[in-house]
Amino acid sequence: MPGVTLDGSRKMGGYEFFEKVLGNPKYIVAPMVDQSELAWRKLSRRYGAQVVYTPMINAKMYAEGVRKPYREQNFDTVHGEEGGPEDRPLIVQFCANNVDHLLTSAKLLEPYCDAVDINLGCPQDIARRGHYGSYLQDEWDLIYEMINTLHKNLSIPVTAKFRVFPTVEKTVEYAKMLERAGAQILTCHGRTREQRGHRSGLADWEKIRAVKEAVSVPVIANGNILFYGDIERCLAATGADAVMSAEGNLYNPAIFMPAPAPSPSDPSPSTSSAPSTSASMYLTGYHPRNTGLALEYLSIVKSQKTLTTPSAVKGHLFKLLRPALAKYPDLRERMGRIRVERGERDKDGGVAWDRYEQVIRELDSRLEVDIEAAKEKTLEELSPIDEVTGFPVLPHWLAQPYIRPLPADPEAAKPPAESGKSGVEVVASECSVEDSACRGSKRPVPEEAAPAVHPLSSGEALGDSKRQKLQSEDVSAP
């Protein structure tokens, strides 16, 4: 569905844009505050991500530019790396409730991205207080005006990411309104606004399918993606054009890659002689060694001119290394004590990045011993099925989703009655880190103190990106 700007020029839209500019993608990384930053986008692209969103940007704060660091911290246009050739295709996401602020911010970043997305999905209390995200979903006139204004005034398409309503009928009407307003791609998160935190429950793929069947623009399915195998199941169930992953990507940035084919020297996946391959073949997906991913990410951070916030680095490392650090708590404690000292920020972390690398390399040495000890184990011993969750328990040296423990109060795990689900099975909310940004928490809670969720939860529903960091740096968020 092509668009026409106010000056009469034609721009691509809908499937033409989806195919010719974005490359007909199937694997998309979600907008995640303090987590889908440039360095992580680069890493994700190396492992199969075809389109990546920026972290959510507060349109009012970006437009006003009163807090000087806000612009450079959220999208650095000075060094030419963000939105550069290696950072495309790229979609910039804003939260907003004011058309003028939104248009001003979008025009500022228009040259650096392929599309601008409006966040209509954040369900957290900070979004309610700030009056944006899913708390706009009953104000259809305002939403229409915001989308339509960008549609008419930008040279690039506008897209929208939203949550479903309790009923299929209202969800479909909502999606149709977004399309009429000018949204060229719709990302449908299959949870309601009330499904958040430990009440997240399943994303409703049937509602996503109903949206897909009702609109003529591309639809991206969002929710319930834990493993590579979930991708095709989601696409088949929803009919969507692509899937979006948030926390699944954070714990395993290779979530979009299939398992490597067995080599002639290791033709059978029945042993752990090549654990990172054998175990991953069991799940049909690729689960690389987590220390290797962590070192690769740090290398990207150190190589670029664009600064990466200390909180983002620490958050990524703790997520990637979570199962390994759980086995070696002394190294987890050492990593948690690492700080970027005052005055080092301009030097992109100073010696802190080197300290992280030292801990990771020591962890890697210990994992080598564990891998050697596992050589003679069978695949069943290496990756047993957890009787409670039904998911494989992968070796601690592999990147893998975070399956949370059972909540102390079983009733707390039940989704709202309106969701129509009798129980919670898998939580894979794609708004998690995006939500945490909205929360703007100043003092994150250590990972081990994070509230428990259902055992089948990947933990994507929370606002946990900040909460899960061990002894993390203070973080300011919009």
Residue-wise pLDDT for 164-189, tens only, equals 999 999 999 999 999 999 999 999 99
Q: Where is pLDDT greater, at 407 or 364? A: 364
pLDDT of residue 381: 84
- Please tell me the distance from the alpha carbon of residue 161 to that of residue 119, in angstroms, as a whole number: 5
Residue 281: pLDDT band (50, 70, 90) is: very low
In CATH, what is the architecture of 3-251?
Alpha-Beta Barrel (3.20)
Q: What distance in Å separates the CA atoms of residue 285 and residue 371, rounded to the nearest whole number?
A: 19
Provide the pLDDT confidence category of residue 215 given band limits of 50, 70 and 90. Answer: very high
Over residues 358-374, the pLDDT tens digits come to: 999 999 999 999 999 99
What secondary structure does DSSP assign to 282-351, as a single string?
HTTB---BHHHHHHHHHHHHHH-SS---HHHHHHHHHHHTHHHHHH-HHHHHHHHH----TT-GGGTTTT
The residue written with tokens 């490359």 in the block is 23
List the domain boundaries for the chain. 3-251, 259-400
Q: Which pLDDT value is given to residue 446?
A: 31
Task: pLDDT band for 425, please (50, 70, 90 cuts).
Answer: very low
Global confidence as pTM = 0.83
Residue 389 DSSP SS3: coil
The whole-angstrom separation of Cα 360 and Cα 408 is 33
The mean of the pLDDT values for the chain is: 82
Catalytic residues: 122
Q: Give me the mean pLDDT over the 414-431 stretch.
A: 35
Residue 279's pLDDT is: 42
Q: Tens of pLDDT along 301-351? A: 999 999 999 999 999 999 999 999 999 999 999 999 999 876 565 445 668
